[in-house]
Structure 1
Amino acid sequence: MGGLFAGVLPVFALIAIGYGLRKSDFLPDATWRPIEKLSINLLYPGFLVPSIWGADLSGGSAGAAAASAVVAVIIVGTCALLAKPLIRLEGPAYTSVFQGVIRWNSFVFLPVIQAVFGAEGLALAAVMIACIIPVTNIACVAVLARWGADQRGVSPLALTKAMLANPILVACLTGLVLNFLRVPPIPGVSETLELLGGAALPLGLIVAGAGLSFAEVARRKWTVAAVTFVKLGVMPPLMWGLCILFGGDQLAQGTALLCGAAPGAAAAYLLARQMGGDAPLMAGIVALTTVGSALSIPILLTLFHLV
């Protein structure tokens, strides 16, 4: 058990290092956006493609884990929509609440999975990402189109193009195709992808830390705290329970639990800024859920290994 926590601790240490580098002006603010772009568009695909390509997906674990993630997002998203009349927030702020309870940060999720469950867990995690990205993107864009400040409609074609341009989704789908076609490792290509992937996780965590902003946490503490409770207190046991219901083995259950426990996604802040959401509130939600996950994940892992 101590070894598991020792593996998780460096994940949050790198996030803290990224936050410290940004606050200390070690690098100019303008530098961080290109680094983030490099991580998302090149390094993470280099990590994900070989992880899925060489994975053993012949069992039922991948299906149970993916189904639990998708169904949990649908349940929580539906509850958030039904609660809209009771949530005394203006439309743009509500969109950030909605994004905050269903979206999660793969930059944090994947390194934690690697530390706890190794390569087999990473393969399941990548399949979950491929299944859940379309669901969360469609739901969040629809909510922003309805209640965002811009309130501009988004055509199904435009949404499809946006999702297919998502490098994380493309990498997951590429890995799945190569896996299902049983394509053998290609000399030179596989090694190049592995080298790129080796840089993805540490740099991604540093970038995630550099993007944290706590300015709105104190000003709108109750809203941010409520979203954090749902994201870190409700979503993890819900995904875990659904995975058990769908017949997932212990690996699938643990991966589903940690998927639910991942903090809010920095991509949600970018989407809020682009489509008229409440971007400062979204930044506060991402920040508090990230800090909260550093406390909740060890507790959830303890419970998981006691059950």
Structure 2
Amino acid sequence: MTSIHDALFPVLALILIGFAIRRSQFLPDPFWPAAEKLTYFLLMPAMLIHNLAGKQINDLPWRELVLTVGGAVVASAVLVTLWWLANRHMGGPAFTSLFQGAVRFNTFVALALAENLYGRDGLLLAALGAGCMIVLVNVLCVSVFSLAVSNGTGVSLRQLAVDLTRNPLILGCVIGVGVNLLGLKLPVSVDGLLALVGKAAFPVGLMAVGAAYRTGNLGLHWQPVAVSSAVQFLCKPLIAWHLAGTLGLSGMAAGAALLLFSVPTAPSAYILSRQMGGDHDSMATIITVQTCLAFVTLPVTIWLLR
């Protein structure tokens, strides 16, 4: 139980620090958009390349793991899209927040929990599943932004392809996975640089989330918060559990997969929302509320896993 709170506390604390800094005006308001842009275009891609390059899968059940996490991501995306089609009173920008809140996952929390609960082997399994999810989730989210934030005018396949190929998070994933598949090894100096730059991604991104949060936002955005949280903490773990059992994934590998679907949404969702014209106010609210809820839901999930 302590490991869960130890992994979640830094996330929530950094959000609160960002909120306090913005409220106190310790830093000027123009700092935060600049920090968001730096995180989106440099810090997070560096973190992704460092984490995905050089992972050795050896004899791990990677096929079953990839199918489990990929299937659960797609199923959750279909679920929230069907809900939106049945509730079209919600605008496109607000739907992008709901979509990210239901589909994305907090890599930092998931990997920290996997290492605390299962050791290095569990961390490797979780990182393998996370690598697959990161690429798929970013493709889905960028596609949704291109389609839903078009004010009903639609978007060409060419424009969608451009959005995908220019997205720095997807580029970071592709480079990291490509280095891995080609059997290449990053030079020690380059890997060290990426690791150092990437370490700033989560602190800066989380503080930017806190800086964007406004008291009273929960009442304004209760519907995307409620729906995304229900999918994130209830539907996704159940779908992943069913797929793992169906595909024969068990033991530590199944536990690592389920952890990926039991954590709150990612802080990078806010950065993407700001950069691509989403409803960043509701996105910041979803991230903050889900991080708080995870203090209650994750201990239950871990207890069930054990």
TM-score, normalised via structure 2 length: 0.81
Residue in 2 that maps onto 1:135:
140
Alpha-carbon distance in structure 1 between the residues aligned to 2:181 and 2:84: 42
Mapped pair 1:110 → 2:114 = no
Number of residue equivalences: 295
- Kindly provide the amino acid, as one letter, of the partner of residue 204 in structure 1: G
Whether the 8 Å CA contact 2:164–2:170 is kept in 1: the answer is: yes
Post-superposition offset of 1:302: 2.9
State the match for 1:42 in structure 2: 42
CA contact (8 A) 2:98 2:224 kept: no
Identical positions, percent? 25
- Which residue pairs with 2:170 in the alignment? 169
Determine the C-alpha separation between the residues in 2 that align with 1:238 and 1:140.
25
Q: Which deviations, in whole Å up to 9, do the C-alpha atoms of 1:225-251 show, x marking residues without a partner?
A: 233222322223323432343344545
**Structure 1 residues 113 and 217, CA, compared in 2 at 3 Å: closer, same or farther?**
same
Does the 8 A contact of 1:48 with 1:172 survive in 2? yes
AA at the equivalent of 2:111: Q
Shift of 1:98: 4.8
Give the letter for the 1:263 counterpart: T
Q: Give the equivalent residue in structure 2 for 1:99.
A: 99
Which is further off, 192-201 or 253-262? 253-262
1:262 equivalent to 2:264? Answer yes
How large is the RMSD of aligned CA atoms in angstroms?
3.0
Matched, 1:226 2:230: no
Name the counterpart of 2:69.
69
**In 2, distance between residues paired with 1:144 and 1:40?**
19
Q: What SS does structure 1 have at the residue aligned with 2:27?
A: coil
Query: Is the contact between residue 210 and residue 284 of structure 2 (CA under 8 Å) also seen in structure 1?
Result: no
Cα gap change, 1:78/1:185 in structure 2, threshold over 3 Å: closer, same or farther? closer
Return the offset for 1:174: 0.7
Distance 1:238-1:52 versus aligned 2 partners, 3 A rule: same
Contact 1:66 1:127 (8 Å CA) reproduced: yes
Moved more, 202-211 or 162-171: 202-211
Q: TM-score of the superposition, structure 1-length normalised?
A: 0.80
Q: Could you list the runs of 5+ residues in structure 1 that have no partner in the other structure? A: none
Aligned-partner Cα distance in 2 for 1:278–1:36: 15
Distance apart, 1:62 and its partner CA? 4.1
User: Are 2:50 and 2:176, in contact at CA under 8 Å, matched by a contact in 1?
Assistant: yes
1:238 aligns with 2:239: yes
Structure 2, unmatched stretches of 5+, are 116-122
1:23-42 equivalences in 2 (<5 Å): 23-42=23-42
Instruction: Indicate the SS of the match to 1:188.
Output: helix
Question: Aligned partners of 2:230, 2:36: CA distance in 1, in Å?
Answer: 28
Q: Distance in 1 between matches of 2:12 and 2:270?
A: 16
